[in-house]
Amino acid sequence: MSCLYFGTDGIRGPYGGPVINEAFAQRLGAAAGRWLWHGPPPVSRLVPLGRDPRFSGESLERALAAGFASEGWRTVSLGVVPTPAVASAVRTMGASLGVVVTASHNPAGDNGIKFFGAGGRKLTEQQEFEIERLLPAETPAEGAGDQTVMPGAGALADYIAAASRILAPDSLKGWRIVLDTANGATCASSPVVLRSLGAEVIGIGDHPDGRNINAGVGSEHPGQLAGRVRATGARLGIAHDGDGDRCLLCDENGDILDGDEILAILATDALARGRLAAKTLVVTVHSNGGVDAAVAAAGGRVVRTAVGDRHVAERMAAEGATLGGESSGHIIFSEISPTGDGLVAALKVMEVMLAAGQPLSVLRRGLKKFPQASSALSVGEKKPLDGLPGLAAAIRAVESEVGRQGRVLVRYSGTESKLRILVEGPDEAVVRAGLARLEAAARSELL
């Protein structure tokens, strides 16, 4: 089983390209509509649609709606909302499927389509494969269905209200927070929640125009956030990606915390309070080995899974765990949301800060990272890795150099045309040299 269009997190690519265009979106909506009829009898015939503020989002959403309508489904436009708000709307509406039009952290010229199934959970690979099999060869004609337009404020207001209840009223009074919303979907939600809790919010990337999403701002570009935190004396900084399902943090000194550091803070605190379900944290193969050591020292265990927050969520359910995530900043609290939520992650870390009476610069010390280096090489074609003998030989050599305490990961991105390389080991110099060797081998056979 191998999907042609779906990657690690939905379907993604350049807008106007061979996949992300209105004709394909309409075909995909029709295929998803057909797939829904093949499943259990639906509780609701409504399909909520949300999007981030990219210039191409509205027309792609309309095309999806037309595709669903051709199969007899009514869609509800939620407008511009964070991705986790769409997952929540699926649960609230009792829907069998929800869709968000977003390319997450990608630049504005890209767009994408993510699906959420019943309960607001990401679809499995098998379900995505089944939808692909039902793609019509031609763009379907309009059907008898119709699109019901509901103001986005409905889903957005519900999401804001739920997030605002995570911390006590006025608990952030006196806090100065720098918030980078990446000119994306969280511009009308995260600052509202933080201010409602009493915080003074200094905004970055909070003027979306459809073409500036992730442009030098957001979780992919945290430099401006760090500088503003230092310049303003803020308690911390928060950076979202374009659709708001992940975040990075910045401590009061202007130093960035990635998802591994966030997960270590949350897991060790929960263990100390006896609140980490199954005493288990779920992470992906990309997380630093120091996370395992920190959690083990606190009395818990780490379970690893394939890259992608969908795989994290699936493993969490299998293990009875309620906390998991990725080093990229996708953090899942399944008791609050079935998918990654950057705002929830930030609020939960602030909850730890409040309880411990400690700044982030102190809390982050609980994670001692193993030396690690990574890179992402753009490729024109994703050639099978097992057919690249030079790269395979380099991988074996580097694995031998980093030893049993280290590891080497080489894989293609599931959302971009990139080869991702990671080397981890006991010595910084060995790790850096290993990464350079793997990059050279990959360039000689792929570029």
> How would you classify the pairing of strands 110-117 and 74-80?
unpaired
Beta strand pairing call for 200-204 and 176-180: parallel
The answer to pTM > 0.85 is yes
The whole domain housing 361 covers 258-366
- Quick one: DSSP state of residue 413? -
H or E stretch at 203: strand 200-204
pLDDT, mean of residues 330-338: 96
Q: How far is C-alpha 16 from the geometric centre of its chain's CA atoms?
A: 24
Q: Say whether both 223 and 184 belong to one domain.
A: yes
The neighbouring-strand residues paired with 10 are 7
Q: Is the pLDDT of residue 234 over 60?
A: yes
Q: Scanning the structure block, which residue is given the tokens 């265009």?
A: 21
pLDDT in tens, 105-153: 999 999 999 999 999 999 999 999 999 999 998 888 765 445 555 555 6
pLDDT of residue 152: 52
- Residue 216: half-sphere exposure toward Cβ, Cα within 13 Å: 4
Same domain, 252 and 266: no
Q: With respect to residue 165, please indicate whether it lies within any of the assigned structural domains.
A: no
> Which CATH number characterizes residue 418's domain?
3.30.310.50
Within a domain: 1: no
Mean pLDDT of 196-222: 98
Of residues 70, 96, 104, 334, which has the active-site annotation? 104
In the predicted model, is pLDDT for residue 44 greater than 90? no
Rounded distance between C-alpha atoms, residue 265 and residue 290, angstroms: 12
Of the three residues 350, 366, 382, the one that is the final residue of a domain is: 366
pLDDT, tens digit, 9 for 90 and up, residues 397-426: 999 999 988 899 999 987 788 999 999 998
Domain assignment present for 56: yes
* Residue 325 counted as domain residue: yes
Domain count, the chain: 4
> Per-residue pLDDT averaged across 344-373, rounded?
97
Looking at the fold, whether 281 and 340 belong to one and the same domain comes out as: yes
What pLDDT is stored for residue 144 in this prediction? 44
Q: Catalytic site residue 219?
A: no
* All residues at 6 or more sequence positions from 165 whose CB lies less than 8 Å from its CB, including other chains: none
> For 379, which DSSP code?
-
Average pLDDT over residues 181-205: 98
